[in-house]
Structure 1
Amino acid sequence: MDLLQLKYFQKVAEVKHMTKASQELHITQPALSQTISKLEKDVGVPLFNREGRQIHLNYYGEAFLAKVNIALNALEEGKREVMDLAGLQQGRISLDTTFLPHFPDMINQFTEKYPNVHFDISQASSQKIKDELLVNGEIDFCISCHPFDDKGFHNIPIQREDIVLVVPKTHRFANVTILELSEAATEPFISFKRKQQFRETVEDLCLKAGFEPNIICETDDYQIINHLVASKLGITMLPESLVEKSDLTTAVHIKNPISERIYYLSWKDDRYLSLAAQRFRDSLINHYSQMRETN
């Protein structure tokens, strides 16, 4: 059994298809099949159930994968620790983030200071996937609006912003600066699709206000949402930083229920953080702390 076999096994378990796995690993499908068969022979039991071209982990495979993930993560942490001990001013930082105001500016500042540090940045489609990435040790940090309640995690609030109602300039709310969300109960809403996390936030706020939003249009793009509101198709709720400046729309603040987003930087206590990751964490916290002081 060798490291390459374990990495190949992990990839096949992930994509559940030998041909797709071989393409992503840049090897031939027969070579991959041979490697997996040799691994199963070394382990002593079959690890997959084969159904045509599909391949799925069986009971033994599920148990083995859990240990393989731990082993490969531990080796990656060891590599980062050795690099730190050698004093190398480089590294790779992995994080999953929801939209965070001014985040690209902060990344640019950091990479200008540490040009040899590289980032792996993902945007998981659900909070559940974010949680799994952090819990399984696949990423250094998670930035989201949901802190980890379990023991063994750090959660630092780094930014807060209002969620506002965006309406056309001709709308009856256009000259109102602040209102009760319940006043919008009969309005047509434009919203993100259900797979977007912010959609759940909007629905929860509306339910707190005593109604279910009448969503007449859905999209993945906040810019399209802004344009549709400008075209008078309906109104929407957005984080204030996503409201585009326009002569055709206006933003109205909500006083009840409290409508805001708090962004948390979270990391796992027992995951080794490289010097690069530690510098990034401290820079991120300091960056948003300074922004709060100047606002």
Structure 2
Amino acid sequence: MEFLQLKYFQTAARYEHITKAAEELRIAQPSLSKTIARLEEDLGVQLFDRQGRNIQLNACGRAFLEHVNRAFMELDNGIKKVKDLAGMKKVSISIAMTLPKILPKLLSPFLNQYPHVHFRQIMEPPSILKRKLEDGEIDLCISPVPFGSPAIEWKPLFTDDIYLIVPTDHYLAGRKSIHISEIKNESFILMNTGFSIRDLVDKLFNEAGFTPEIIMEVNDPETIIGMIRRGKGVTFISKRDWQYVSHLIPEKIRINDPNWHQMIGLSWSTKKDLSIEAYHFKQYVIEFFEKT
């Protein structure tokens, strides 16, 4: 059985007419008839009922056509993916993450290998990320939220400790660690409700048995850093994020109480087929965090 036989059969089945099929294929009618006859001989069954040049798919022909069409569709998809991988077409990967400062270090090696890939970063609260993942609007998400949806798969990547950061002239500056009860009277600047670190902090405050005094809530981490540097309040930051701002905020203080850490994981939709590039990037992300 040859590729050409299947292509001729598919065309003849679409027209159910030898002359019209031969015209599209630009071959002589006898050649088309002989090719289909050889295919039927190889299969050991008749695929068409014939009356002159008019042909009609029979039950065997209809069943075989379903598989032929599926095979050609898979072949077309394979050709497309190979062309994309070879850089013949730009491929976009949408990624959401709560650790944006790590993007340059994370993406640079991958882009060296896949220079035709275009990344689109998305920053939203977890509730919106969950919906976008379920709807297939996001390929991958790196966050501490497993989302709890049957349509979303989540793989843990690493554990990130949560630290208190204070102004350089704060009375706690220089301390290596504290208990959470020591800062219950502090003034806090926090991310808005809905962001993962804020939700975690609210949960841990509740477990500690007190309500913090929050003097400012924002959507932008850079604003919080700027306010802390000017001596306006204290806040929390993950250890991995602090590495990128330690030159601005050197006072990092460990919290000795349990649970002041978060598990960061990788999420993707179980309903959406990732492109070959997005699939390779998913594997790359897992290996990247295993090494760091």
Quote the Cα distance in structure 1 between the aligned partners of 2:146 and 2:178: 29
| Displacement of 1:164 | 0.4
Q: Structure 1 pair 139/230, CA: closer, same or farther in 2 (3 Å)?
A: closer
1:83 alignment partner in structure 2: 80
Give the superposed CA RMSD. 2.7
| Native 8 Å contact 1:96 1:130 kept in 2 | yes
| Native 8 Å contact 2:140 2:267 kept in 1 | yes
Higher alpha-carbon deviation: 106-115 or 142-151: 142-151
Residue 259 (1) aligns with residue 260 (2): yes
Moved over 4 A (4+): 78-82, 246-249
Amino acid at match of 1:98: T
Written as runs of structure 1 = structure 2, the 5 A alignment for 1:178-257 is 178-194=177-193, 196-243=195-242, 244-246=245-247, 249-257=250-258
1:276 alignment partner in structure 2: 277
| Native 8 Å contact 1:144 1:263 kept in 2 | yes
Q: Which has the larger radius of gyration?
A: 2
Quote the Cα distance in structure 2 between the aligned partners of 1:259 and 1:80: 47
| Native 8 Å contact 2:144 2:196 kept in 1 | no
Written as runs of structure 1 = structure 2, the 5 A alignment for 1:132-147 is 132-147=131-146
Q: Structure 1 pair 290/252, CA: closer, same or farther in 2 (3 Å)?
A: same
**TM-score normalised over the length of structure 1:** 0.64
Q: Structure 1 pair 134/79, CA: closer, same or farther in 2 (3 Å)?
A: farther
- In the alignment of these two chains, the number of paired residues is 214
Quote the Cα distance in structure 1 between the aligned partners of 2:250 and 2:114: 41
Partner secondary structure for residue 190 of structure 2:
strand
Deviation per residue, 1:81-120 (Å, 9 max, x gap): 6622657434322222222552321112111211111222
Amino acid at match of 1:105: K
Partner secondary structure for residue 189 of structure 1:
strand
| Native 8 Å contact 2:99 2:241 kept in 1 | no
1:95 alignment partner in structure 2: 95
Identity, % of aligned pairs? 28
Partner secondary structure for residue 176 of structure 1:
coil
| Displacement of 1:248 | 6.8
Q: Structure 1 pair 81/196, CA: closer, same or farther in 2 (3 Å)?
A: farther
Quote the Cα distance in structure 2 between the aligned partners of 1:114 and 1:256: 44
1:46 alignment partner in structure 2: none
2:19 alignment partner in structure 1: none
Q: Structure 1 pair 187/274, CA: closer, same or farther in 2 (3 Å)?
A: same
Quote the Cα distance in structure 2 between the aligned partners of 1:116 and 1:167: 43
Amino acid at match of 1:287: F
Quote the Cα distance in structure 2 between the aligned partners of 1:81 and 1:111: 22
